[in-house]
Structure 1
Amino acid sequence: MTQHSVRFKQVDVFTSVPFKGNPLAVVFDADSLSGDEMQAIARWTNLSETVFLLAPTDARADYRVRIFTTKGELPFAGHPTLGTAHAFLESGRKPKTPGRLVQQCGAGLIELAADARVTSDTTSEATSGGAWAFAAPPARMTPLAANQHDALRAALRSDAIDFTATPCGVDNGAPWLVVRLASAQAVLALDVDYAAIEAIAASVGAHGVAAYGPHDAHGPATFEVRCLMTGLGRGEDPVTGSANAAIAMLLEEQNRRPGERYTVRQGTALGRDGRVHVAYDDAARKTWVGGHSVTVVDGTCRLG
């Protein structure tokens, strides 16, 4: 690796308040780096994901990304997608189409939009406050076998699982076992057996559990979400775009959509306050997952 410096940002995603969302490292102009070098940097940042910005190889894309956890590379992840869009635009780079971006990644081309309908009731927030949304990529769904339901109840240490909405593995590039609970309070009360959860999630090809439950009518959001990771290291993810996309698409599949738009609170159990906005565009047959991002660290990173 030739020694040189590139621009580096650390962005907090799904929040407009620093330290309340999910942090992301973004390394610009990373075309000279090998996959092994990217992995080494991702291990060093020690964040859930580090994104490397590259020149696109598809003429339709504004940029290309490679996304690494401390353990390996992901074809797609939601909070890196939104955080990278924020970092790209804040650096002064311009989209090919105003108000739209196309990200090239391992899962293909991901469309993003600055659209008040999917992030806020005010247009100014979508254009000036870092609020963007991505169109959820296609997902493969695998229902959890009924003979696993008792094991799931025991692993989550909860009698509040709503089995009328069948737990389901949803793989949109980052595979999750999506489980509905009776209430937001039941989600927050979870105290899981990670070893048991890992085996159950693996049975549907998932790397963790995305648990969600409804808030009361006048609560802080429509749903409370917790994402409990197993496959790439055990622990809770603060705010998760891919999992919220998975939940949104399963709600559609199971005819449980709460409306054309809804909101999510995530990270509460970790002292965060992540906010996710979901919107269904039935005409275009797209599901949009969005939120704000804010830059916390802006500087350079020495490579080599």
Structure 2
Amino acid sequence: MTTPSRRRRRFAQVDVFTEVPYVGNPVAVVLDGDGISDRDMAQIAQWTNLSETTFVVPPTSGEADYRLRIFTPGGEIPFAGHPTLGSAHAWLESGGTPKKPGEVTQECGLGLVPVRISEDGLGFRAPALRRSGPLEDGHLDRIARGLGIDRARIVGHQWVDNGPGWAAVQLASADEVLALKPDEQHMGELVLGVVGAYPEDSPVQFEARAFALPKGVREDPVTGSLTAGLAQWLIGAGKAPRDFRVGQGTCLGRQGVLTVESHGEDIWVGGASVTCVRGTLEA
């Protein structure tokens, strides 16, 4: 660590998109992140070895309750979904009081992200996409090679990048998504989400998987930012209803469930969170 004088800082590890501990997606949250250098934040994120580690610091916007720095093992990213909800959960649990009743306002690399508070948990408003539109032929070829499938099995595709760089492809069914055995040699350059639908009347309407080796994440258990991008694409294209549920993490032994709700033109992605670790971190 390069910080000249270390001190104890409040720390939590929160399991997101689950009501049951240890079956969702954990995020490490340093609640007193002010004064930690960028280099030390990156080092701590490598050490926790989670898909994301966050640092709560004072906001620069008068509208925000706090500013969130989000790090993967590969470096800082402007936005991510489960770290947004897990950090808001930890901040509220530690005594944080929102400026707006019933809503936390997070500042991050994408700007201001509202997080609604409800009896069912927290939900963030899907941010505008940085990149949208169909994927290029060369990119689709690389994706098919990485997933180890014939390109004809990809029934839909779209850029759904809201910060991490997501490209997304749709397969014919959730079973096809679950059966994938990606080739890591060819997946290395891809930041990719894969989605497929379950049969009608299933309790969960879609299954998703997320791969992001360039961010240091081989397969992410449950991914809010990807679901936000998928929802904007699938709802806009008439491929999904305005409200639905997504399962993720099945292939990793997890049981993540993400809810998508449309309110007017806004799409909200939410779910339950549970704190599994409380304590202090020295940095």
Shorter-chain TM-score range: over 0.9
**Whole-Å Cα distance in 1 between the matches of residues 217 and 73 of structure 2?**
12
Does 2:187 match 1:176? no
Kept in 2, the 8 Å contact 1:161–1:181? The answer is: no
Deviation at 1:137, TM superposition (A): 0.8
Aligned to 2:136, which of 145, 154, 169?
145
Does 2:54 match 1:48? no
Does 2:67 match 1:67? no
Q: What do residues 19-47 of structure 1 show as CA deviations (whole Å, max 9, x unaligned)?
A: 10001100012111111111111111111
Pairs within 5 Å for 1:105-116: 105-115=108-118
Amino acid at match of 1:158: I
Does 2:275 match 1:299? no
What runs of 5+ residues in structure 2 fail to find an aligned partner? none
Amino acid at match of 1:276: L
The residue that corresponds to 1:244 in the other structure is 227
The residue matched to 2:160 in structure 1 has which SS? Answer: strand
**Whole-Å Cα distance in 1 between the matches of residues 56 and 141 of structure 2?**
44
Aligned to 1:12, which of 12, 15, 21?
15
The residue that corresponds to 1:30 in the other structure is 33
**Whole-Å Cα distance in 1 between the matches of residues 184 and 47 of structure 2?**
25
**Whole-Å Cα distance in 2 between the matches of residues 77 and 221 of structure 1?**
22
Pairs within 5 Å for 1:211-226: 211-226=194-209
Aligned to 1:209, which of 177, 192, 212?
192
Pairs within 5 Å for 1:262-281: 262-281=244-263
RMSD of Structure 2 on Structure 1 (CA): 1.7
The residue that corresponds to 2:82 in the other structure is 79
**Whole-Å Cα distance in 2 between the matches of residues 161 and 219 of structure 1?**
26
Deviation at 1:198, TM superposition (A): 4.0
Kept in 1, the 8 Å contact 2:9–2:31? The answer is: yes
Kept in 2, the 8 Å contact 1:12–1:19? The answer is: yes
Kept in 2, the 8 Å contact 1:161–1:179? The answer is: no
Deviation at 1:142, TM superposition (A): 3.9
The residue that corresponds to 2:123 in the other structure is 133
Kept in 1, the 8 Å contact 2:155–2:169? The answer is: no
**Whole-Å Cα distance in 2 between the matches of residues 6 and 151 of structure 1?**
43
Amino acid at match of 1:175: G
The residue that corresponds to 1:96 in the other structure is 99
Deviation at 1:149, TM superposition (A): 4.2
Deviation at 1:197, TM superposition (A): 3.5
Deviation at 1:220, TM superposition (A): 3.5
Give the aligned length. Answer: 279
TM-score, length of structure 2 as denominator length? 0.93
Identical pairs, percent: 46
**Whole-Å Cα distance in 2 between the matches of residues 296 and 230 of structure 1?**
26
CA distance 1:298–1:147, change in 2 (3 Å): closer
The residue that corresponds to 1:21 in the other structure is 24
CA distance 1:149–1:97, change in 2 (3 Å): closer
**Whole-Å Cα distance in 2 between the matches of residues 14 and 289 of structure 1?**
10
